[in-house]
Every structure is written in C-alpha cells, then in structure tokens.
Structure 1
Amino acid sequence: MYAIVNIAGKQFKVTKDQFVYAPLMQGEAGASVEFDQVLLAEDNGTVSIGAPILAGALVSGKILDHVKGDKVIVFKKKRRKGYKKKNGHRQDFTKIMIESIVL
C-alpha cells in the first residue's frame, strides 16, 4: 500500500513506516501530524486517483526531528576582473515517519 501525498507544497510517494524529509514544518519533535491532501492511493492492486484529492483519505505521521540538509556551495566569478564570491547554504528539513495510511 502506498499513497502520493502533498506535504508543504511538495508531493511524496509514501508507505507505512517510511521516513520522509519534508520542507521545514511547525511542530515539536514527537508531535503527530496528519496530511489530508492525498492525490493517489494504491491498495492491493487497486489504484484510486483523486480529482484533485481523495475524499476521506488520510496519512498520519510523527515528527522525529528538525534537521539540515547537505551544504551547497555557491561560487560566482567574473574572469579577468578579480571578482570572486563564495557562499554556502544549508536547507532546513523536517524528518517525518509515516505511521498509517487510511483510505
């Protein structure tokens, strides 16, 4: 059983007991969250497609931690001008464990 769910503006294919790194969300570690924007669900070979979302479908999970992604280096240079600029960036994510999918 799997579902495609909209979490904070991004779509994820999730199954039960899976970890998902979603964009930063509000909530403490250990808090439970529910996602009702289920776009597609599969159960024992039967695929249900929403238009645009499935009515009554619910994906519940638990926030495990707020983490940062890998560092991305941004380097800008203009040749023969002496212009160099180096910046780094780390994106914030929320680690979520999917606990159940209800159709």
Structure 2
Amino acid sequence: MYAIVDIAGKQFKVTQDQFIYAPALEGEEGASVEFDNVLLVDNDGAVKVGTPTVKGAKVTAKILSHVKDDKVIVFKKKRRKGYKKKNGHRQALTKILIETIK
C-alpha cells in the first residue's frame, strides 16, 4: 500500500514505515503530524485517484528531527568586469517517519 501526498508544496510517494526528508515543518521532535492532502492511494491494486484529493484519506507521521541539507554553492561571475560573488545555502529539512496510511 502506498500513497502520493502533498507535503508543504512537494509531492511524495510514501509507504508505511518509510523515512522522508520533507521541507521544514512546524512542530517539535516526537510530535505527530497528519497530512490530508492525499492525491492518490493504492491498496494492493485498488487505485483511488483524488479530484484533487481523496476524500477521507489521511497519512499520519512522526517528526524525528529537524536537519539541514547539504551545502549548495552559488557562484556568480561576469567576465572581464572583475565581478565575482560566492554564496552558500543550506535548506532546512524535517526528517519524518510515515506511521499509517488510512
């Protein structure tokens, strides 16, 4: 059984007992979170597609930790002008454990 869920503007294909790194979510570590923006549910071949969401479908998850992604280097340059800029960025993520799909 799997579901496609919209979490903070991104779509994830989730199964039970799966770890996911989602964009930063509100909540403390150990807190339970429910997602009701379920776009598709597959229960052993019985597929339900939502218009736009599946009615009554929910995915519950547990927040494990708040982490940062790997550093991305942003480098800008204009040739022959002496212009160079170097910046770094680390995206805030939340590690969650999918507990149930209903």
TM-score by length of 1: 0.96
Stretches of 4+ moved more than 4 A in 1? none
Count of residues paired in the alignment: 102
Q: Which residue of 2 aligns with 1:92?
A: 92
78-87 vs 63-72, greater mean Cα deviation:
78-87
Specify the SS of the correspondent of 2:11: strand
Query: Which structure 2 residues correspond to residues 1-103 of structure 1 after superposition, within 5 A?
Result: 1-102=1-102
Specify the SS of the correspondent of 2:81: coil
Fraction of identical pairs, as percent: 72
Runs of 5+ consecutive residues of structure 2 not aligned to the other structure: none
TM-score by length of 2: 0.97
